[in-house]
C-alpha cells in the first residue's frame, strides 16, 4: 500500500469534523526546513547522532495563537492544574470556572480550543513514521491478532519480518515517551491502567468472539457480553474488545495525526496508551449495520442502546460530563 492509499484509508474511516490533511501537507512542505533541524533528519531513518537519542524529549507545545474557526466554540480558559508535575492532579480540586471550561471541551470534544496542547511539530515526521510502522505490523499479523499484540512481540516481529522492518531507536523512544508522559499535560485525567509498557494480555485469558475479529477477557467480560446479546438480541455486536498497549498506541497515534498533532483533542476521543480500560476488560458494542455511527452519540438513540440502558446491570465507562477527559461514549461498556 503506498502512502496516499494509506492516508485515504486513514481519514475516510474517521468521523471527524475537521480534515486531517493539512498536517500531512505541512510535513511535506517542511521537509526542507526539517533537513536542517538538529532534532529530526528526514534523510535518515534514525536521529542524526547518538547523543540525540538521549536528549529526545516529548515536548508538547501550547498554541495560544490558534484562532477558532467559524462555528467552533469560544476557546476555554487555560487550565494549569499542575504547579508541581510530581503531584497528581485531581479534577475534584478544580475551581468551578475551570470545571465549566473543562466540560465545555468534553462536550465539544472534536473542536479545537486555544488552550489545546500540540505535539511539537518537529516530531510530526516521527509520529507519521512510527504510526506507519505500526500499521505494517497490523497488516502483517492481521487486525484480530493485533488487538492482543504485546510490546515485546512487536519488537520481535519487526526484527523477524523484512516487510515490517526493525523498530529504530527514535521510534522506540517516541513510543516510550507517549506511553510514559503524564497525559494531564494535555487534559486527559483518566487513571493509568497499565504501569509497564511491556504489560501483556495472556492468550489463555481471552476468548475469540466469533464473527467480530475481537477478543474478550474470559470471565466477567465474556459473560456480560453474552448476557447483553441474550437480553437485547442478535443485532448487538462487539465492535472492540480487549486491546493491548500496542493496539492502543497505534489507535492513539492515528488519532493524533487525524487531529493534526493536537494531543488534547485526540485524547478527548481516545484514552492514551496505558490508560484504556479496554486493557482490563471493558468493551464496545454496536448495532449491526449502523457502521461508524456506532461510535457517535447517535448510538444512544438506537432501540438497542435504550434496551441496554434499561437492563439495570450494564454501566457505561464515560457518561455525559464525566471527569475523566473523555467524551460521552454510550457504546463503551464498563467492567467493574
Ligand atoms: Zn471503548
Condensed to tens digits (0 to 9), the pLDDT of residues 24-67 reads 444 444 333 333 333 333 333 333 333 333 333 444 444 333 33
Quote the longest CA-to-CA distance of the chain.
Answer: 61
Residue 187 and residue 267 in contact, taking contact as beta carbons nearer than 8 Å: yes
Same domain, 30 and 123: yes
pLDDT for the residue numbered 41: 31
Same domain, 26 and 140: yes
Same domain, 236 and 252: no
Same domain, 23 and 124: yes
Burial class for 113, CB neighbours closer than 10 Å (0-12, 13-18, 19+): buried
**C-alpha of residue 221 to centroid of ligand 1, in Å:** 13
pLDDT for the residue numbered 91: 59
Angle between helices 3-12 and 245-258 (to 10 degrees): 90
Q: Which domain holds residue 298?
A: 203-242+279-333
Mean pLDDT of 297-309: 92
**C-alpha of residue 331 to centroid of ligand 1, in Å:** 7
**C-alpha of residue 66 to centroid of ligand 1, in Å:** 30
pLDDT for the residue numbered 63: 39
**C-alpha of residue 31 to centroid of ligand 1, in Å:** 36
**Residue 239 confidence class, pLDDT cut points 50, 70, 90:** very high
Residue 145 lies in a domain: yes
Residue-wise pLDDT tens digits, 267-289: 999 999 999 999 999 999 999 99
Residue 123 and residue 40 in contact, taking contact as beta carbons nearer than 8 Å: yes
Same domain, 82 and 134: yes
Question: How distant is the alpha carbon of residue 299 from its chain centre?
Answer: 20
Residue 243: closest CA among 333, 154, 145, 317 = 145
DSSP-based three-state secondary structure for 169: helix
Burial class for 303, CB neighbours closer than 10 Å (0-12, 13-18, 19+): exposed
Same domain, 250 and 180: yes
Residue-wise pLDDT tens digits, 56-71: 344 444 433 333 333 3
Mean pLDDT of 255-275: 93
Same domain, 20 and 73: yes
DSSP-based three-state secondary structure for 315: coil
Mean pLDDT of 191-219: 95
CA distance linking residue 333 with residue 336, whole number of Å: 10
Q: Extract the C-alpha cell encoding 40.
A: 529530526
Same domain, 189 and 212: no
**C-alpha of residue 71 to centroid of ligand 1, in Å:** 28
Q: Extract the C-alpha cell encoding 226.
A: 453474552
pTM, whole model, 2 decimals? Answer: 0.75
Same domain, 251 and 233: no
**Residue 107 confidence class, pLDDT cut points 50, 70, 90:** confident
Residue-wise pLDDT tens digits, 115-153: 888 888 888 899 999 999 999 999 999 999 999 999 999
**Residue 3 confidence class, pLDDT cut points 50, 70, 90:** very low
User: End-to-end alpha-carbon separation of the chain, Å?
Assistant: 41
**C-alpha of residue 149 to centroid of ligand 1, in Å:** 18
Same domain, 93 and 220: no
Residue 108 and residue 115 in contact, taking contact as beta carbons nearer than 8 Å: no
Question: How distant is the alpha carbon of residue 76 from its chain centre?
Answer: 23
**C-alpha of residue 45 to centroid of ligand 1, in Å:** 34
**C-alpha of residue 194 to centroid of ligand 1, in Å:** 16
Mean pLDDT of 160-167: 97
Q: Name the percent of the chain lying above pLDDT 90.
A: 54
Residue 274 lies in a domain: no
Q: How many separate domains does the chain show?
A: 2
Same domain, 44 and 148: yes
Amino acid at each position: 500500500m503506498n502512502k496516499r492509499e494509506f492516508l485515504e484509508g486513514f481519514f475516510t474511516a474517521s468521523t471527524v469534523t475537521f480534515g486531517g490533511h493539512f498536517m500531512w501537507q505541512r510535513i511535506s512542505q517542511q521537509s526542507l526546513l526539517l533537513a536542517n533541524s538538529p532534532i529530526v533528519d528526514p534523510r535518515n531513518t534514525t536521529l542524526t547522532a547518538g547523543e540525540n537519542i538521549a536528549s529526545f524529549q516529548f515536548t508538547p507545545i501550547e498554541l495560544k495563537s490558534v484562532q477558532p474557526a467559524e462555528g467552533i466554540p469560544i476557546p476555554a480558559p487555560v487550565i494549569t492544574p499542575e504547579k508541581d508535575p510530581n503531584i497528581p492532579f485531581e479534577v475534584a480540586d478544580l475551581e468551578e470556572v475551570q470545571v465549566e471550561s473543562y466540560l465545555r471541551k468534553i462536550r465539544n470534544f472534536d473542536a479545537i480550543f486555544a488552550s489545546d496542547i500540540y505535539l511539537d511539530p518537529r516530531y510530526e515526521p516521527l509520529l507519521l513514521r512510527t504510526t506507519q510502522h505500526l500499521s505494517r505490523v497490523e497488516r502483517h499479523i492481521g487486525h484480530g491478532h493485533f488487538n492482543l499484540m504485546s510490546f515485546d512481540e512487536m519488537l520481535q516481529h519487526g526484527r523477524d519480518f523484512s516487510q515490517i522492518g526493525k523498530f529504530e531507536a527514535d521510534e522506540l523512544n517516541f513510543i516510550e515517551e507517549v506511553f510514559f508522559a503524564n497525559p494531564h499535560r494535555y487534559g486527559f485525567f483518566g487513571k493509568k491502567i497499565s504501569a509497564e509498557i511491556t504489560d501483556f494480555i495472556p492468550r489463555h485469558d481471552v476468548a475469540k468472539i466469533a464473527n467480530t475479529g475481537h477478543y474478550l477477557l474470559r470471565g466477567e467480560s465474556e459473560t456480560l457480553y453474552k448476557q447483553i446479546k441474550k437480553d437485547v438480541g442478535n443485532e448487538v455486536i462487539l465492535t472492540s474488545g480487549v486491546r493491548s498497549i500496542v493496539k492502543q498506541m497505534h489507535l492513539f497515534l492515528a488519532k493524533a495525526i487525524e487531529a493534526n498533532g493536537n494531543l488534547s483533542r485526540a485524547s478527548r476521543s481516545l484514552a492514551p496508551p496505558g490508560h484504556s480500560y479496554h486493557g482490563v476488560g471493558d468493551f464496545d458494542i454496536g448495532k449491526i449495520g449502523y457502521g461508524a455511527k456506532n461510535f457517535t452519540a447517535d448510538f444512544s438513540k438506537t432501540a438497542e442502546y435504550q434496551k441496554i440502558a434499561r437492563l439495570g446491570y450494564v454501566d457505561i465507562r464515560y457518561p455525559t460530563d464525566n471527569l475523566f477527559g473523555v467524551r460521552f461514549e454510550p457504546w463503551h461498556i464498563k467492567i467493574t
